[in-house]
Amino acid sequence: MSGSGLHSYAPLLLHLLIAAALAGALTAVSVLVGWRRPSRAKQQPYECGMEPIGDAREPFSVKFYLVAMVFILFDVEAIFLYPWAYIFRSLRWYGFVEMMIYIAILLVG
């Protein structure tokens, strides 16, 4: 790419830098300004004003992690459909066949 091609990404880079700086600044301010008076009551899990029954940290099945990972996998792969849909008409049959192969691979997985 030429220098002018990379120059068009400057607003995106600036936006990402500002967002990262703002997130870091807000996190730092909340840590510096926040209250620091820990107590036993504050460390307990909150259950709608009732006294907690049992331990809040109970083990649960790994299947939940598997479902979450599969969801994220297919969600990220669905993101790749948006650019294809945007330029669908200019791709003609080649783009259509290519995306059908991609979707078939997703369905097999």
Model confidence band, residue 3 (pLDDT cutoffs 50, 70, 90) = low
Place of tokens 């209250």: 35
- pLDDT on residue 12: 93
Please, which pLDDT band fits residue 23 given cuts at 50, 70 and 90? very high
Domains of the chain with bracketed CATH = 3-108 (1.20.58)
Q: How many CA atoms lie within 13 A of 6 on its CB side?
A: 3
Q: Indicate yes or no: pTM above 0.75.
A: no
Angstrom distance (rounded) from CA 103 to CA 97: 10
DSSP letter at 56 equals S
**Per the structure block, which two tokens stand in for 108?**
């097999």
So what's the pLDDT on residue 25?
Answer: 98
Identify the sign of the CA torsion 32, 36, 42, 43.
positive
Residue pLDDT, tens place only, 33-90: 987 888 887 777 776 777 767 776 778 788 888 888 888 988 888 888 888 888 888 8
